[in-house]
Structure 1
Amino acid sequence: MQKNVLIIGAGGVAHVAAHKAAMNNDVLGDICIASRTLSKCDAIIESVLRKGHLKDASRRLYSAQLDALDIPATIKLIQDTQSDIVINLGSAFLNMSILEACIETGVAYIDTAIHEDPDKVCEQPPWYANYEWKRKDSCDAKGVTAILGAGFDPGVVNAYCALAVKRYFDKIDTIDILDVNAGSHGKYFSTNFDPEINFREFVKVWTWIDREWKEYPTHSVKRLYDFPVAGEQPVYLNGHDELHSLSKNIDANSIRFWMGFGDHYINVFTVLRTLGFLSHLPVTLTTGQEVVPLKVVKALLPDPMTLAPGYTGNTCIGNFVKGWKDGKEREVFIYQVSDHKKCYEEVESQGISYTAGVPPVAAAMLIANGTWDVKKMVNVEELDPEPFIEILDRIGLPTEIKEIEPNSAFSFNGFVRPIEEELLESTATVTVSAANPMIALKPAK
């Protein structure tokens, strides 16, 4: 049975999701793309049609203008479009408003990140308990399917955890989620998704170690790892959305998240943060005008969608899982590699948006066919991972699974030592030229 879909948001991730939804509209039916800026929605539709991605031409692909903070307006749009599934790909500030509209109308809800309050950053964990999980009972009472965090991370990596439990381990010791982008966009500096959300993530590090929350300074714990295809890359212990549900739903002693950052990124980030440019709180200028420094930085940086045409290189995201199977130690790396250039050739997107935009469409397809239409609120790891991974394999995100010899040179060491020891090895060094700032892209040898 076809299920009409409403995609809320018109950024890079929504662009990818619209392409993939259109390519599978024999399952997903009519597709409406809604955002505050109608022209952005129409630009996505133009891209989908130009690439010939509307599989069933008899189904509608159209746009609507929407302020998703306006719950009554969102309710009305859901009803007017006769949507059965809402994919929330807007700002994380919108989650609770869109979720409320879905509960009110009784339609399925999918998002890709945890809700954020604009006035708060890196709140006390677990973050889901501060917002979304408070609406669990309402979803249960109304039989509303709400799938939280169905992007890649969170999302696919959560499914990899569930797959590890289901197929590869009797008991899990540690899970290290590794996310690297070994790509080059040719700009002096840019984030790969919304700069405001990107920078807010790195205020502090909350991680799950020895079955409790521990806090570390940003970019203070560093490892080097030789990734498939992407090669040797530096990764830093970081906080991230998926830890806040996995810590509750997956039986493991430690679950950590590591993200790749080059020296140049850390250099620019540290200068901006030290000078106060990453503050989410308003400051008053001498003119009396109030501005939010982080929003100014966002306005000055390139729009992540503009990076796509010239992007080269690969992403590699996956879970390094250690534990025991049949009484023996086991280590498995479950991962996915995407090529920026191939992503652009297919859907006119860079690889970061691609990896985030494909999974919510796979989740929508599983709701449409009944497999994941669970009539309650869940995180991805609470669902059967194999149908999800099977669809992802078919529609653009094939999974690889690599057995690792336990405690070998190919193992990942995620054990965190005392912070004083870690800081000695986490220094970033760059070469900077005032006459030619682009030289800063080349770390000193």
Structure 2
Amino acid sequence: MKKNILIIGAGGVGHVVAHKLATAADSVGSLHIASRTIEKCNAIAESVAAKANVEARIVVQTHKLNAFDAAATIDLIRQTEASIVVNVGPSFINLAVLRACIETGAAYIDTAIHEDPQKVCEQPPWYANHEWPLRAECERRGITAILGAGFDPGVVNAYVALAAQDHLDALDSIDIIDVNAGSHGQYFATNFNAEINLREFTGDVWTWQEGRWVANAMFEISRIDDLPIVGRQKSYLTGHDEIHSLSAHFPHADIRFWMGFDEHYITVFEVLKNLGLLSEKPVVLADGTKVVPLQLVKHLLPDPASLAPMYQGKTFIGVLAKGTRDGKPHQVLLYNTCDHADCFTEISSQAIAYTAGVPAAAAALLVGHGDWDIGRMVNVEQLPPRPFLALTAQMGLPTSIVQAPLGNLFGRLHG
């Protein structure tokens, strides 16, 4: 049975989700995209319509929506008769959209953890601060709510689940490595919503090690890896969404997230931070005007969607899982690489948005098909990983797997 799907959020990720779902005429009834800025929705609809090389094309219908207004979101879900809502707007709206889905009975999918605009880097575990308290209500009402169904979080959670099911008898450590080896040609830019992106790096870095939360400073700890496809890359220990659910489901493993940054990015970031320009707290100017520095920086930086035409190079996102197999130390690397230029050729996107949007679209189709329509709230690692990874591969994000005894991953990884 075909499902009506509502996409909330008209940024780069919403662009990808709309393009991918518009090709699924056998699964999608009507497709809708909503945002506060109707012009962005219309631009996505026009982009989808322009891709005439795909035979099965669904018309994207557009709507103006302030998703902070749960009542307005409820009205739109009912108006569109959407049975699945894919929330790819800023993570500040997660709870409002989730509550609207609970009220209407629609399935809920997002790609990032909820954030309180007034707080930066809350005490872990973050899912327990906001989304997880609604688990009981979702189960009581039979609402499917899939949290963090992008790439990281999302596909990497499925990688961990697959590693635990197929490759390791015991899981001792999980290192998630995310490197963008591409170049967009701008002096300084973020690859998705700048306000959300920069907030990630202004507080403590929280990781799960030896059964407890450990705090470090940003850019305090780094590693260097010889990675497949993208080669030798430096990455830094960083807090990230998936650590907070994986630590609950794999509590005996050390869980760390590593993200690549070049020296120029770090220098500009540190200057902005030291000047107070990354603060989420409003400042009052001499004339009484209130300005939030971080929102001003966001306004001045390039729109992430505008980066796509000039982006070159590849991304690497993978999970290095270590443990034992048949009583011997063993490790497995599950990863994807994605080419920025190929993404632009296909759907006028860049690889960061593509890697987040394709899995969200795949999750919506799996819910629609019934595979993931489980009637409760879950994180991706709690779901069967194989259908998800098979569908994301079919939709443009194939997974590669390399495994070996510890200390001998074909000489590729160290540090």
TM-score bracket relative to the smaller structure: over 0.9
Separation of aligned partners in 2, 1:297 and 1:407: 44
Q: How does 1:130-279 map to 2 (within 5 A)?
A: 130-203=129-202, 204-279=204-279
Q: Using a 3 Å threshold, how does the CA distance of structure 1 residues 65 and 54 change in structure 2: closer, same or farther? A: farther
- Please, what TM-score do these two structures have when normalized by structure 1? 0.91
Residues 25 and 54 in structure 1, CA contact (< 8 A), matched pair in contact too: no
| Offset at residue 230 of structure 1 (A) | 0.9
Matched, 1:371 2:378: no
Find the residue that maps to 1:63 and give its secondary structure: strand
Separation of aligned partners in 2, 1:253 and 1:152: 21
Residues 96 and 131 in structure 1, CA contact (< 8 A), matched pair in contact too: yes
Residues 175 and 252 in structure 1, CA contact (< 8 A), matched pair in contact too: no
Residues 121 and 199 in structure 2, CA contact (< 8 A), matched pair in contact too: yes
Q: Using a 3 Å threshold, how does the CA distance of structure 1 residues 91 and 239 change in structure 2: closer, same or farther? A: same
Matched, 1:282 2:260: no
Q: Deviations over 1:283-333 (max 9, x none)?
A: 111222110000111111111100000100000000001111111111111
Q: Report what 2:84 is aligned to.
A: 85
Q: Report what 2:122 is aligned to.
A: 123
| Offset at residue 403 of structure 1 (A) | 1.6
- Further displaced range: 283-292 or 327-336: 283-292
Find the residue that maps to 1:23 and give its secondary structure: coil
Q: Report what 2:66 is aligned to.
A: 67
- Identical residues among aligned pairs (%): 55
Residues 148 and 380 in structure 2, CA contact (< 8 A), matched pair in contact too: yes
Q: Report what 2:8 is aligned to.
A: 8
Q: Deviations over 1:189-216 (max 9, x none)?
A: 1111111001100122011111110000
Find the residue that maps to 1:26 and give its secondary structure: coil
| Offset at residue 137 of structure 1 (A) | 0.8
Separation of aligned partners in 1, 2:391 and 2:55: 17
Residues 22 and 54 in structure 1, CA contact (< 8 A), matched pair in contact too: no
Separation of aligned partners in 1, 2:48 and 2:169: 44
Q: Report what 2:322 is aligned to.
A: 322
Q: Deviations over 1:212-256 (max 9, x none)?
A: 100000110011111111111110000000000000012442010
Residues 226 and 414 in structure 2, CA contact (< 8 A), matched pair in contact too: no
Residues 211 and 254 in structure 1, CA contact (< 8 A), matched pair in contact too: yes
Q: Report what 1:396 is aligned to.
A: 396
| Offset at residue 60 of structure 1 (A) | 4.2
Separation of aligned partners in 1, 2:3 and 2:357: 18
Query: For structure 2, which runs of at least 5 residues remain unmatched after alignment?
Result: none
Q: Which amino acid aligns with 1:195?
A: A
Separation of aligned partners in 2, 1:353 and 1:253: 30
- Further displaced range: 114-123 or 246-255: 246-255
Separation of aligned partners in 2, 1:173 and 1:124: 24
Residues 172 and 251 in structure 1, CA contact (< 8 A), matched pair in contact too: no
Separation of aligned partners in 1, 2:379 and 2:402: 25
Q: Which amino acid aligns with 2:412?
A: F
Separation of aligned partners in 1, 2:270 and 2:101: 40
Matched, 1:355 2:355: yes
Q: Deviations over 1:43-69 (max 9, x none)?
A: 001111101276545x54210110001
Separation of aligned partners in 1, 2:189 and 2:292: 19
Separation of aligned partners in 2, 1:221 and 1:53: 47
- Further displaced range: 150-159 or 219-228: 219-228
Q: Report what 2:23 is aligned to.
A: 23
Separation of aligned partners in 1, 2:111 and 2:375: 19
Matched, 1:49 2:56: no
| Offset at residue 405 of structure 1 (A) | 4.1
Matched, 1:96 2:95: yes
Q: Aligned match of 2:412 in 410, 413, 416?
A: 410
Separation of aligned partners in 2, 1:209 and 1:25: 45
Q: Which amino acid aligns with 2:406?
A: P
How many residue pairs get aligned? The number is 412
- Please, what TM-score do these two structures have when normalized by structure 2? 0.97
Q: Report what 1:310 is aligned to.
A: 310
Q: How does 1:324-343 map to 2 (within 5 A)?
A: 324-343=324-343
Q: Deviations over 1:331-377 (max 9, x none)?
A: 11100000000000001000000000000111011111110000000
Q: Which amino acid aligns with 2:139?
A: D
Q: Using a 3 Å threshold, how does the CA distance of structure 1 residues 111 and 24 change in structure 2: closer, same or farther? A: same
| Offset at residue 24 of structure 1 (A) | 1.3
Separation of aligned partners in 1, 2:413 and 2:139: 42
Q: Deviations over 1:153-206 (max 9, x none)?
A: 000000000000110010011000000000011111111111100110012201
Residues 320 and 331 in structure 1, CA contact (< 8 A), matched pair in contact too: yes
Q: Deviations over 1:371-402 (max 9, x none)?
A: 00000000000000000000011010000001
Residues 49 and 59 in structure 2, CA contact (< 8 A), matched pair in contact too: no
Q: Which amino acid aligns with 2:86?
A: I
Separation of aligned partners in 2, 1:382 and 1:155: 11
| Offset at residue 411 of structure 1 (A) | 3.5
Q: Report what 1:443 is aligned to.
A: none
Q: Deviations over 1:53-89 (max 9, x none)?
A: 76545x5421011000111110010001010100000
| Offset at residue 99 of structure 1 (A) | 0.2
Separation of aligned partners in 1, 2:278 and 2:305: 21
Residues 28 and 364 in structure 1, CA contact (< 8 A), matched pair in contact too: no
- Further displaced range: 401-410 or 123-132: 401-410
